[in-house]
Amino acid sequence: DQRLNIQGLVKRGVAVMLDLDQLSGENIEAAIKEVINNPIYTENMRRLSQQFRDRPMTALQTAVYWTEYVIRHQGAPHLRPASVGLPLYQYLLLDVIAVLLLPIWVLLYLVYFLFFRAVEVSPNDIKNYNLKKNS
C-alpha cells in the first residue's frame, strides 16, 4: 500500500516486500516465515529500535520542555515560519508562476496572431500588390 515506506524498511533489512498484483496466501505465508525464522531481521529490528529509542529525554519530557519554552518566550514568535505572514498568492507561488507563464503566453499569442495574419494574405492580394507596384 505504501511503496516508499516498505522500500525503506526492506533497505534497512527489517521487512519483506510483497507485490500486490501477485498477492496470494502462499506469498504471505512465505514472507511471514522468512521474517520470523531469519535472525537477521530480528537483529536489524533491534538495532533500528535502539536507534529510535536513543533520545536525551522521554517524549513527555520533550513535550513539557517545548511547552515551557513557548511560555517563557511569550509565544516564541521567532519560531513561527515566515509563511505565516505571506499572502496566499505568494505562499502558493502564484506570483512566480505568473512571471514564468506570462512570457510563454505572449509568445504563443504572437505566433497565433502572426500565423492568422499570414493566412489572411491570399494569392490574389499578392497579384494585386504586384500590379499596383508595376503600374
The C-alpha atoms of residue 3 and residue 18 are separated, in whole angstroms, by 10
The C-alpha atoms of residue 45 and residue 51 are separated, in whole angstroms, by 10
Local confidence band at 131 (pLDDT 50, 70, 90 cut-offs):
low
**Kind and range of the H or E run holding 13:** none
* Among 43, 33, 53, 34, CA closest to 12: 43
Q: Three cell numbers at 62?
A: 520533550
Tens of pLDDT along 8-42? 999 999 999 998 888 899 999 999 999 999 999 99
Tens of pLDDT along 39-96? 999 999 999 999 988 989 999 999 999 999 999 999 999 999 989 989 999 999 999 9
pLDDT at 126: 63
pLDDT at 22: 86
What residue type is assigned to position 119 of the chain?
A: V
Local confidence band at 2 (pLDDT 50, 70, 90 cut-offs):
confident
pLDDT at 68: 97
